[in-house]
C-alpha cells in the first residue's frame, strides 16, 4: 500500500513537471496550479487516504507527500516569475522607471531663502572673489596690522609675500561695491569663506557667510534693528526675542552681536544654547568712518550699517542639526531630506 502510494505520487510529480514546461502565460499557469496544487488535486486526495496506513508508514508517507508538494510549489514559483517578467515587458500601462533627480544642497537652499527675504526689502545681490588681497580682506576694513584676525594661523595665505589669501569673511565685498558705486546702496553678498579652523561639530575650514550693507544719508542704528528683526522673524517664522549686545568689530562702530531666544528649547535651556536660553546668530554695527574714508565716501555726509551671518549656523538652527560636518559628507540619506 505504501509503495503504491509513493509510486503514484512520484508519477504525479513527473506529470506536473512535464506539463509546466510548455506553459507560457499566466492563465494556463493558473490552471496548472489548480490541477497540481489546488484543494481538489490528486495530491490532496492522497493526504486523506493515508489513514489506512500503519503509524510508521504514515510518517514515511507524510514526509514524502510534503516533499513532493514543496517541489511542485517551487516549480510553480519559478514559472510564475519567468512569465511575469515577460508579461511586464509588454505591459504599456505599468508606470515607467523613475529617473533619480538631484535636489539643491541644504546650504544653497538656506542662502536662497535668506537672499529672498532681503531681496523683498530692496537689497541687491552682490558677489566678490574668494581669493582676496590682504588690502580688501583686512586693511580697507580698518583692521590694523596687529589685529589678531590677521594672524597667519587663522588665514589661508596663497602667497604671503604678495599678500594674497583666501578671504576669511564676506566683508571685502563691501569695499569692492563701495569703490564702484556711490550711495544710496543696499546689498546682500553671500559666499564662501575660509579659515584655518579644525573640522569638528561646529567648525569647518570652509563655510558660508552672508554679508549685508546699507549706506545712505541719515541711516541710523534703528534702521539696522528694523531690518534684522524683520529678517529674523521671516527666517524662523516664529516670534523670537531679539537681543542686541555691545560687541567689537574693527569695521563697525558701534558694533553689536545679535542673539535670539533659543528656537529649540524656547529659553528653558538646552545643549544647543549652552543652557543660556539664547543663541548668537550674527554680528553687525554702523560702518566705521575709516572704512568710508578708505573708499572715498565722506563720513560726514553718509552713514550706514553692515552685518554678517554664518549660513551653516542658521541652517543648523532651522533644521536642528547638531553637527556642521553633515553638510559636507555628501551622504544622500542626509541630503535627500531637504
Ligand atoms: Zn536652547
**What spacing in Å lies between the alpha carbon of 231 and ligand 1's midpoint?**
20
Name the phi and psi angles at 29, rounded to 5. -65, -40
CB 111 within 8 A of CB 311: yes
**What spacing in Å lies between the alpha carbon of 280 and ligand 1's midpoint?**
11
**What spacing in Å lies between the alpha carbon of 111 and ligand 1's midpoint?**
24
Question: Rounded to a whole number, what is the largest CA-CA distance in the chain?
Answer: 118
**What spacing in Å lies between the alpha carbon of 271 and ligand 1's midpoint?**
6
**What spacing in Å lies between the alpha carbon of 329 and ligand 1's midpoint?**
26
**What spacing in Å lies between the alpha carbon of 316 and ligand 1's midpoint?**
13
The residue-averaged pLDDT of 2-17 equals 88
**What spacing in Å lies between the alpha carbon of 320 and ligand 1's midpoint?**
11
Cell of residue 72, nine digits: 511542485
For the chain, domain boundaries? 2-90, 106-335
Confidence at residue 152, expressed as pLDDT on a 0 to 100 scale? 65
Cell of residue 58, nine digits: 504514515
**What spacing in Å lies between the alpha carbon of 119 and ligand 1's midpoint?**
30
Confidence at residue 220, expressed as pLDDT on a 0 to 100 scale? 96
Cell of residue 210, nine digits: 552672508
DSSP string, 268-280: S--TTTTTSSEEE
Going by pLDDT thresholds of 50, 70 and 90, the confidence category of residue 153 is low
Following CA atoms 198, 306, 287, 295 in sequence, which dihedral angle do they give, to the nearest 10 degrees? 90
**Class for the domain spanning 106-335:** alpha beta
Taking the whole predicted model, whether its pTM rises above 0.75 is answered as no
pLDDT at 51 over 80: no
**What spacing in Å lies between the alpha carbon of 99 and ligand 1's midpoint?**
41
Going by pLDDT thresholds of 50, 70 and 90, the confidence category of residue 146 is confident
**What spacing in Å lies between the alpha carbon of 113 and ligand 1's midpoint?**
23
Cell of residue 157, nine digits: 595665505
Between 293 and 265, residue with greater pLDDT: 293
**What spacing in Å lies between the alpha carbon of 276 and ligand 1's midpoint?**
7
**What spacing in Å lies between the alpha carbon of 261 and ligand 1's midpoint?**
8
**What spacing in Å lies between the alpha carbon of 309 and ligand 1's midpoint?**
19
Going by pLDDT thresholds of 50, 70 and 90, the confidence category of residue 337 is confident
Cell of residue 256, nine digits: 553689536
Phi-psi region of 237 (alpha: psi -120 to 50; beta: other; left: phi over 0): left
**What spacing in Å lies between the alpha carbon of 269 and ligand 1's midpoint?**
4
Between 256 and 4, residue with greater pLDDT: 256
- Between 24-28, 134-138, 165-169, the lowest mean confidence (pLDDT) is in 24-28
Q: Per DSSP, what are the bridge partners of residue 282?
A: 258, 309
**What spacing in Å lies between the alpha carbon of 253 and ligand 1's midpoint?**
30
pLDDT at 135 over 90: yes
Between 99 and 132, residue with greater pLDDT: 132
**What spacing in Å lies between the alpha carbon of 268 and ligand 1's midpoint?**
6
Amino acid at each position: 500500500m505504501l509503495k503504491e502510494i509513493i509510486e503514484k505520487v512520484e508519477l504525479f510529480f513527473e506529470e506536473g513537471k512535464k506539463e509546466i514546461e510548455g506553459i507560457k502565460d499566466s492563465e494556463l499557469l493558473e490552471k496548472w496550479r489548480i490541477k497540481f496544487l489546488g484543494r481538489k488535486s490528486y495530491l490532496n486526495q492522497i493526504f486523506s487516504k493515508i489513514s489506512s496506513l500503519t503509524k510508521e508508514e504514515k510518517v514515511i508517507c507524510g514526509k514524502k507527500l510534503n516533499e513532493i508538494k514543496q517541489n511542485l510549489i517551487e516549480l510553480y514559483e519559478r514559472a510564475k516569475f519567468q512569465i511575469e517578467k515577460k508579461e511586464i515587458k509588454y505591459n504599456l500601462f505599468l508606470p515607467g522607471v523613475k529617473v533619480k533627480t538631484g535636489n539643491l544642497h541644504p546650504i544653497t537652499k538656506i542662502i536662497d531663502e535668506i537672499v529672498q527675504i532681503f531681496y523683498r526689502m530692496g537689497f541687491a545681490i552682490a558677489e566678490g572673489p574668494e581669493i582676496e588681497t590682504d588690502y580688501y580682506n583686512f586693511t580697507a576694513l580698518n583692521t590694523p596690522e596687529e589685529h589678531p584676525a590677521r594672524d597667519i594661523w587663522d588665514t589661508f595665505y596663497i602667497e604671503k609675500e604678495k599678500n594674497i589669501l583666501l578671504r576669511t569673511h564676506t566683508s571685502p565685498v563691501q569695499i569692492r561695491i563701495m569703490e564702484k558705486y556711490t550711495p544710496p546702496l543696499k546689498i546682500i553678498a553671500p559666499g564662501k569663506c575660509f579659515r584655518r579652523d579644525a573640522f569638528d561639530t561646529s567648525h569647518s575650514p570652509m563655510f558660508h557667510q552672508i554679508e549685508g550693507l546699507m549706506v545712505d544719508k541719515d541711516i541710523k542704528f534703528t534702521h539696522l534693528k528694523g531690518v534684522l528683526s524683520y529678517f529674523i522673524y521671516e527666517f524662523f517664522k516664529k516670534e523670537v526675542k531679539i537681543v542686541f549686545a555691545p560687541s567689537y568689530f574693527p569695521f563697525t562702530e558701534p558694533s553689536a552681536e545679535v542673539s535670539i531666544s533659543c528656537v529649540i528649547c524656547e529659553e528653558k535651556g538646552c545643549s544647543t544654547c549652552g543652557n543660556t536660553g539664547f543663541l548668537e546668530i550674527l554680528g553687525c554695527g554702523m560702518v566705521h568712518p575709516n572704512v568710508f574714508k578708505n573708499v572715498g565716501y565722506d563720513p560726514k555726509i553718509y552713514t550706514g550699517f553692515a552685518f554678517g551671518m554664518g549660513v551653516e549656523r542658521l541652517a543648523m538652527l532651522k533644521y536642528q542639526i547638531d553637527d556642521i560636518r553633515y553638510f559636507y559628507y555628501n551622504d544622500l540619506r542626509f541630503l535627500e531630506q531637504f
